[in-house]
Structure 1
Amino acid sequence: MADAPSLTRGRAGPDVAAFFRRYAALAALIVLLAFNFAVTPHFVSLQTLNVNLTQVATIVIVSVGMTLVIATGGIDLSVGSLMAIAGALAPLIFLSPFGVAHPALGDLLAFVLPVAVVGLLGAFNGWFITRFQVQPIVGTLVMFIAGRGIGQVLTNGNLQVFHNPTFQFIGLGRVLGVPFQVIVMLVIVGLAAWTVRRTLFGRHILAVGGNERAARLAGVPVARVKRWVYAISGLCAGLAGLVVVSINSSSDANLVGLGMELDAIAAVAVGGTPFTGGQASVIGTLIGALLIQLLRYTLLANGVPDAAALVVKGVIIAGAVWSQQRGRTA
């Protein structure tokens, strides 16, 4: 009888730890919001809300694709370069003689073709990884290097400046006062969360990441699943690239998407999706991206240099990875 209390505590301990790991990012976000409400000047305003949401929207869009890739046990270093390619292609289309002569069709093609092209390049990443059985970090490193070069070749390394209200609606437009890019972000998050939870494809993603060999023996088309998640990651990156250039009214292949792969990986890590695969928390990724953005805003608004904010971001990512590791060994 003396052993019963200790057994109860042994069972309760991991449950508490799992609860903390699952909701730590959300709890931290709530605490940070409360701090800003109490301390940060002018935090409670629509302008502040719009600033934070618009700055985080592209990160979330890319991070959703990254979440699916990581859920299969992979990684995608090419997303920033794919953003640069999409951002370079769009102005080339609507500024071309054809686009000028047929503005409606040119704008439509500027939305569709760049996203389709980088989606195919994402699918190439998946094909390269599965066909030659290379590590995802190596397979996507190829496009990470070559992709930005492709963007620079397309534009001859020049800055493309434009004014196209129709195209720029994706980054600057509003619907009932809500930034359109935020609506796009929420739609993508909702679709991805539904896919992971409710569809056969979502179950296949988790099966591949959980145990690839067992998934293959169970009849899951492992190679096809991987190619699709890298294609989806490319599509998300392409869409984010269009948002970025539309906001800036210009496209610079040297800068569009620079470092985005790191921001996306950070959001996924903080959101609770383990790098070992087999699990995916799309809503967690959204919360992780919001947390990182709000933390950076909080530090800057309270006089902390941006360099220090980057250090804090690194510490948070390290803490998230450490928490995942503890969860696996518990």
Structure 2
Amino acid sequence: MMVQDLPAARPPRRAQWRKLARGNGGVAALIALLVFNALVTPNFLQLQTLFVNISQVATIAIVAMGMTLVIATGGIDLSVGAVMALAGALAPLIFQSALGTAYPGLGVAAAIVLPLLAAVACGLFNGVMVAVLRVQPIIATLILFISGRGIAQVLTNGNLQTFKNPAFSYLGTGKILGLPFQGWLALAIAVALFWVVTRTLFGRYVLAIGGNERAAHLAGGPVRRVKIGVYVICAALAGLAGLIVVAINSASDAARNGNLMELDAIAAAVVGGALLQGGRAPVFGAILGALIIQLVKYTLLANGVEDEVALIAKAAIILAAVYVQQTRKE
């Protein structure tokens, strides 16, 4: 007589809820915020409110996607806000130069390309410091966190730089099918990075380095080049976000552009599922995290809560996300 296999024991109900929360907590939080605002917050369902939130989310999401790649390798980048300020400060200066005045079309191209090249240079600096000189990422990027915004303020003499260029402003005020251009741009970047992470050797090395850098090195992976690459991508995306902010306002304020963006980007990446120890790069999760961060900020401000409380809420969100990550190890 054969003994039949007994059915596997079902995990306790509490464990089932934990697993469900870990996998879908971000989506549930987003739905809760949307429902709350639809019921409580005045004018939330108006198109103008949608456009404002998409504009704000797009810049956070773009930077958060770059931050996600850096975190996936086990690193961190504190300089993204300063890179935004630096790239944003260069654009108006180009418009005010002889090139921008004499050749407006060429000036627009230069006002996009040159600031992005400056951002790439910042990424190279961070990458070399981390991958070649083996400086701790938090220290290496702290250098540009401190100096980058200072350089931007020196370039602009600490003054607000205004300009009028409809072609450049399209980056921040243009619409496609009725929705803000930067929202479509963020989505296109997400698709491109998702393909890179899931379909290319570079993406596989990113995850391998975050999972076990020594093993990736012993397996012959180009660890240094990949780590430099993720910092370059992160900085380039931060520079692009800085240009979008400048394009929205038709002005550059080096003291405010990208201020505290590093906190929003890290929070969005972590809430979106990036593991601080590395090994995961949920690109679309970064967009989900950015939506949650922006909606929390909007919900508090729209309901009369002071901006300082929004900072506390962001810290609480990061703490909750880290707690969930720690419970995954149990």
User: Normalised by the shorter chain, which TM-score bucket?
Assistant: over 0.9
Tell me, in whole angstroms, the C-alpha distance in 2 between the residues paired with 1:308 and 1:255: 19
Deviates more, 1:60-69 or 1:86-95: 86-95
- For the residue of structure 2 that corresponds to 1:254, the secondary structure is coil
Mark the CA change 1:254 to 1:36 in structure 2 (over 3 Å): closer, same or farther: closer
Match of 2:57 in 1: 56
Deviates more, 1:222-231 or 1:90-99: 90-99
Deviates more, 1:151-160 or 1:201-210: 151-160
Tell me, in whole angstroms, the C-alpha distance in 2 between the residues paired with 1:200 and 1:277: 17
Deviations 1:10-31 (A, max 9, x none): 4987665344212211111012
Tell me, in whole angstroms, the C-alpha distance in 2 between the residues paired with 1:108 and 1:148: 23
Match of 2:170 in 1: 169
Match of 1:283 in 2: 284
Deviations 1:39-65 (A, max 9, x none): 323222211111111111111111110
Q: Which runs of 5+ in 2 are unaligned?
A: none
Assess if the C-alpha contact under 8 Å between 2:63 and 2:237 holds in 1. yes
**Aligned pairs, how many?**
326
Tell me, in whole angstroms, the C-alpha distance in 2 between the residues paired with 1:170 and 1:46: 19
- Given residue 34 of structure 2, which amino acid in structure 1 is its aligned partner? L
Mark the CA change 1:132 to 1:296 in structure 2 (over 3 Å): closer, same or farther: same
Does residue 34 of the first structure (1) align with residue 35 of the second (2)?
yes
Assess if the C-alpha contact under 8 Å between 1:89 and 1:110 holds in 2. yes
Assess if the C-alpha contact under 8 Å between 2:95 and 2:163 holds in 1. no
Match of 1:96 in 2: 97
Mark the CA change 1:286 to 1:187 in structure 2 (over 3 Å): closer, same or farther: same
Alpha-carbon shift at residue 219 of structure 1 (Å)? 1.4
How do residues 217-228 of structure 1 correspond to structure 2 at under 5 angstroms? Answer: 217-228=218-229
Match of 1:261 in 2: 262
Deviates more, 1:218-227 or 1:312-321: 312-321
Match of 2:151 in 1: 150
Assess if the C-alpha contact under 8 Å between 1:21 and 1:272 holds in 2. no
Q: Which runs of 5+ in 1 are unaligned?
A: none
Tell me, in whole angstroms, the C-alpha distance in 2 between the residues paired with 1:145 and 1:49: 34
Tell me, in whole angstroms, the C-alpha distance in 2 between the residues paired with 1:106 and 1:292: 35
Assess if the C-alpha contact under 8 Å between 1:270 and 1:285 holds in 2. yes
Task: Name segments (4+ residues, structure 1) moved above 6 Å.
Answer: none
Tell me, in whole angstroms, the C-alpha distance in 2 between the residues paired with 1:300 and 1:118: 32
Deviates more, 1:148-157 or 1:87-96: 148-157
Tell me, in whole angstroms, the C-alpha distance in 1 between the residues paired with 2:16 and 2:217: 32
TM-score, normalised by the number of residues in structure 2: 0.94
- Given residue 160 of structure 2, which amino acid in structure 1 is its aligned partner? L
Deviates more, 1:314-323 or 1:27-36: 27-36
Mark the CA change 1:303 to 1:145 in structure 2 (over 3 Å): closer, same or farther: closer
How do residues 74-223 of structure 1 correspond to structure 2 at under 5 angstroms? Answer: 74-223=75-224
- Given residue 95 of structure 1, which amino acid in structure 2 is its aligned partner? Q
Match of 1:318 in 2: 319
Deviations 1:70-118 (A, max 9, x none): 0000000111111111011111112201211011111111111111111
User: Aligned residues: percent identity?
Assistant: 57
Assess if the C-alpha contact under 8 Å between 1:62 and 1:233 holds in 2. yes
Tell me, in whole angstroms, the C-alpha distance in 2 between the residues paired with 1:304 and 1:158: 30
- For the residue of structure 1 that corresponds to 2:10, the secondary structure is helix
Tell me, in whole angstroms, the C-alpha distance in 1 between the residues paired with 2:188 and 2:162: 29
How do residues 229-248 of structure 1 correspond to structure 2 at under 5 angstroms? Answer: 229-248=230-249
Match of 1:9 in 2: 10
- For the residue of structure 2 that corresponds to 1:8, the secondary structure is coil
Assess if the C-alpha contact under 8 Å between 2:207 and 2:278 holds in 1. yes
Question: Considering only aligned residues, what root-mean-square deviation do their CA atoms show, in Å?
Answer: 1.8
